[in-house]
Amino acid sequence: MEMANPTTPSGCLCEDLDPILDRYGRDRGLLVSILQDVQEKYRYLPKEALERVSQALGVPMAQVYAVATFFKAFSLKPRGRHVFQVCMGTACHVRGAPLIRDKLERDLGVKNGETAADLSVTLESVNCVGACALGPVVVLDDEVQGHVTMAKTDALVRKVKS
């Protein structure tokens, strides 16, 4: 897989990551947590950040890369300013989540798992957010939207596009 272009908003990564690394005492056992915080900071994992983490923890780059590509939490590509997550848990599935996902793909012009070229929006599916009683569920920018219908999807898309 090709690494994403490491354009980061805040310049030098080396110093930027120190607070995160220190927060976890540079404990290699906490690599997953550290990468999550790095991802939160940049909305993805830039190559330089992985290198910096590898060097600071004394963990081979191959292992950092393996972890960064194994877990769903991580993205090596920049993600959009808005993130749609369609819950694909069983309860949402039987209540019609696939139709909602298909509609979002059509209306956003983005395939599931991808980000728009202008970085405006990312569409992804998640395996259950634990709000099954509200299914089908869409999480838009960390906010749970329950009982999502086609009409409600239209409203969510409008909100993001405006």
Partner 1 sequence: MTGAGGWVGGERVGATMTPLLRSPEDLEEARKRSRASYEAVRNYISVCGGTGCRGGGCLAVAQAIRDAVREEGLEQTLPVRLTGCHGFCERGPLVVIYPQKIFYQQVKPIHARRIVTRSAVQGEVLEDLLYKAPDTKEPIPHEEDIPFYRKQMRLVFGQNGAIDPENIEDYIALGGYSALVKALFHMQPDEIIEEVKKSGLRGRGGGGFPTGRKWASMKKAHSPDGRRFVICNADEGDPGAFMDRSLIEGNPHSVIEGMIIGAFAMGATSGYVYIRREYPLALQTLTKALQQAREYGFLGRDILGSGFSFDIGINRGGGAFVCGESTALMASMEGKVGEPRPKYVHTVEKGLWDRPTCLNNVETWANVPLIINRGADWYASIGTEKSKGTKIFSLVGKVNNTGLIEVPMGITLREVVFEIGGGIQKGRRFKAVQTGGPSGGVIPEALLDLPVDFDRLTEVGSMMGSGGMIVMDDRTCMVDVARYFLEFLTEESCGKCVPCREGVRRLKEVVDRICRGEGRKGDLHLIEEMAPEIADGSLCGLGQSAPNPVITSLRYFREEWEAHVRDRKCPAGVCKELITYSIDPAACTGCMACIKPCPEQCITGERKKPHVLDASRCIQCGACYEVCKYDAVVRR
In one-letter notation, the amino acid at residue 17 is: L
90 binds partner 1 (CB under 8 A): yes
Q: What binding mask, one character per residue, do residues 33-72 give for partner 1 by CB under 8 A, x or -?
A: x-xx--------------------x-x---x--xx--xxx
Residue from the set 83, 116, 128, 160 that interacts with partner 1 by CB under 8 A: 128
80 binds partner 1 (CB under 8 A): no
30 binds partner 1 (CB under 8 A): yes
Q: What's the Cα-to-Cα distance from 9 to each of 6, 76, 78, rounded to whole Å?
A: 10, 16, 11
23 binds partner 1 (CB under 8 A): no
76 binds partner 1 (CB under 8 A): no
Candidates 9-17, 44-52, 115-123, 137-145 — which segment interacts with partner 1 by CB under 8 A?
A: 137-145
Q: Cα angle at 4 between 8 and 98, to 5 degrees?
A: 110
Contact 91, 50 (CB under 8 A): no
Residue 140 three-state SS: strand
Q: CA torsion sign, 79 to 80 to 81 to 83?
A: negative
